[in-house]
Structure 1
Amino acid sequence: MIAQHPRKAALFLLPAAAIYGLILLYPLINSVRLSFTDSPAGGPGEWVGLQNYIEMFNDEQVIDALWRTVAYALVVCVMQNAIGLALARALFTRPRAQRVYSVLILLPMLISPLMAAFIWSAFYAPDGAINTFLRDIGLDGLTRIWLGDPDTALWAIAVVNIWMFAGFSAAIFYAGYMNMPVELLDAARIDGAGGFRRFTNIEWPLLAPSLTVNVTLSLIGSLKVFEYPLVMTNGGPAESTTTLTILVYEKIFGGQGAFSYGVTIAVLLLVVVVIMSGLINAVLRRREERI
């Protein structure tokens, strides 16, 4: 029907395309344009060509933030999906626990990121719940100023990110489990295949589509992390939690008079997100086809 009337189809799509272009494409194109200017606050500025990009790639602060952001995203992506997969398999293999635990694992997602950041900041305080628990069980040597130590601050924030969205990953993996052919799993049990063999030979390959979705979403989300480091550490200590999004915020809204430079960093973040998510998605899609 659509192929027979392409003009009518285009008319129906026109309103949605116009809204999409106004809300997404225009700001994106305008941001790229501003990155080639010296605009002080989004207004007209003089064209400076690649000056902002040359300055950015020679800025150690930006390069450090880039590698920090990528490392954070990879750790969160791996751990979030590993925990989500374990939770999903536990729900699938224990039907009686589904009603209770399926709700519990999704509860963190009901909390706003800002509220979660404040709550975990209290947990990580020197006299907070985590250090108090470690002292109570005789592990005083493991107590830390978790958010005040450059060696632990970024990974302490990563824990919050993982805690928030591991349940979301579990829900997607669980949907993949529910779509598995029951006959195949029953046949494996009858043949005497243990839990590990069933997982590696049957479950893991059949979860390929769920893995692709989970890895792509978690990678994009963690590359754009903003609320947690802003609220919990404000990029400190010693810039150990300064991600690209924090840098963009500081340059544009921090009173540094570097609006166009901040936009340039935002463009860099966009390119990193597109390249990394695109590559990962392409690799996982090819894996799905092979399976």
Structure 2
Amino acid sequence: MSDTLGADPAHGRQSQGTQGARGVAKSATPAPPRAAAHRRGRARMRLEITVLSAPAIIMFLAFVIFPIVLAAYYGFYRWKGYGDPTDWVGLGNYKLILTDPAFHDVLWHNGLLLVLSLVVQGPIAIGLALLLNQKIRGRSAIRVLVFVPYIVSEIIVGIGWGLILQSNGAANGLLERIGLGSLTADWIADPDLAIWTLIAIITWKYIGFAVILMLAGLQSIPEEIFEAAQIDGATYWQIQRRITLPLLGPTIRIWAFLSIIGSLQLFDLVYIIWGPYVAGTTGTSTMAIYMLAQGRNAGNYGYGSAVAVVMFVISLVVALIYQRFVLRRDLRGAVTEGTV
């Protein structure tokens, strides 16, 4: 009896230790219901992502990717725009595009518009944004006036400026009335002035968008930084140079990217003011105008499709190069913040 009683405590301690070890093992292993709930939550999240992103993906495939593939297909044919294409020319359309001096000219025009848009619009937009970021009387009204041209339809802008800049239009009439008749010119038809006329119209039309972006970037900079710089004795221009412009860099780079893509695809204003054929004689023709004139208007839709593919490739290459070398640090910072 005593032996049995003496053995019980030891046996009890052993059984307790075994149960404790089992309890630790059970607690270290996740409970099956919790794992199942976690899997159900991940499956539900994947389903939500699929349902919410499916319409956008379908629209992108239907209205972006499919037309590009279809244009690439038609670009291998000499096609009149009706019936199934049967006259196979292979890379003949693309070879003709790349060797056509007229295409070289319009490519140069697009490049010139791209550079001039950045050089002209950038400083003006930054200056107006700095001015409108100050507490001045009538600031809201000035912001509206600056932004209004951007929301006006390109058709209205093109027709309006086309009438104003005619040889007998309002611009020359105003110059004559104020005694500057010697400055009157044929702003639209003169090949030496047409490209600068186009730059002026583009700047007037799209400067509001750039100003709004710059204002958003300026208002995202904390005021404490400027106050600290003023306490340290920095002048206004030193603050703008050393603080404002570096912190405004990401906004400037995004605006420049959008402006580059828009310059490569410019069509509407040139077509409305000059037309597809006059634009070629005045030095304002663009790749999109060339595509219209040599493709649709010439009845060669296969060639026009090939031009569209070339435009897409040029825009894509420029966009990838810009993102690789200019937007790289901005994207890297976004990825780093997302992973943290």
Task: Give the alignment's TM-score, normalised by structure 2.
Answer: 0.79
Matched residue SS, 1:151: helix
User: Partner residue of 1:130?
Assistant: 171
1:111 counterpart residue number = 152
- Which residue matches 1:33? 73
- Percent of residue pairs identical: 28
Amino acid aligned to 2:323: N
Bigger CA drift: 12-21 or 170-179? 12-21
Closer, same or farther in 2 for the Cα pair 1:108/1:15, shift >3 Å?
closer
Partner of 2:274: 233
The alignment partner of 1:41 has SS state of coil
Contact 1:91-1:97 within 8 A present in 2 as well: no
- Shift of the alpha carbon at 1:88? 0.6
Question: What is the deviation of 1:101?
Answer: 1.0
- Distance across 1 between alignment mates of 2:231 and 2:82: 67
Q: 1:110 to 1:11 in 2, by over 3 A?
A: closer
Q: How many residues are aligned here?
A: 290
Q: Quick one: which of 235, 239, 242 aligns to 2:285? A: 242
SS in 2 for 1:107: helix
- The gaps in structure 2 that reach 5 residues or longer are 1-37, 334-340
Q: Which residue of 1 aligns with 2:307?
A: 265
Distance 1:269 1:148, change over 3 A: same
Q: TM-score, normalised by structure 1?
A: 0.91
Unpaired runs of at least 5, structure 1: none
| Closer/same/farther in 2, CA of residues 192 and 127 from structure 1, 3 Å limit | farther
Judging by fraction of residues, say which structure has more helix: 2
Query: What is the distance in 1 between the residues matched to 2:136 and 2:105?
Result: 46
On the 8 A contact 1:208/1:288 being kept in 2, the answer is no
- CA distance in 2 between counterparts of 1:280 and 1:25 reads 22
Does 2:142 align with 1:101? Answer: yes
Conservation of the 8 A alpha-carbon contact between 1:124 and 1:146: yes
2:105 paired residue number: 64
Kindly tell me: are residues 275 and 150 of structure 1, through their superposed partners in 2, closer, same or farther at Cα, counting changes over 3 Å?
same
2:189 and 2:282 in contact (8 A); partners too: no
Range that drifts further, 244-253 or 112-121: 244-253
Quick check: 230-239 or 99-108, which moved more? 230-239
Partner residue of 1:4? 42
Distance 1:282 1:55, change over 3 A: same
Q: Residue type matched to 2:163 in 1?
A: A
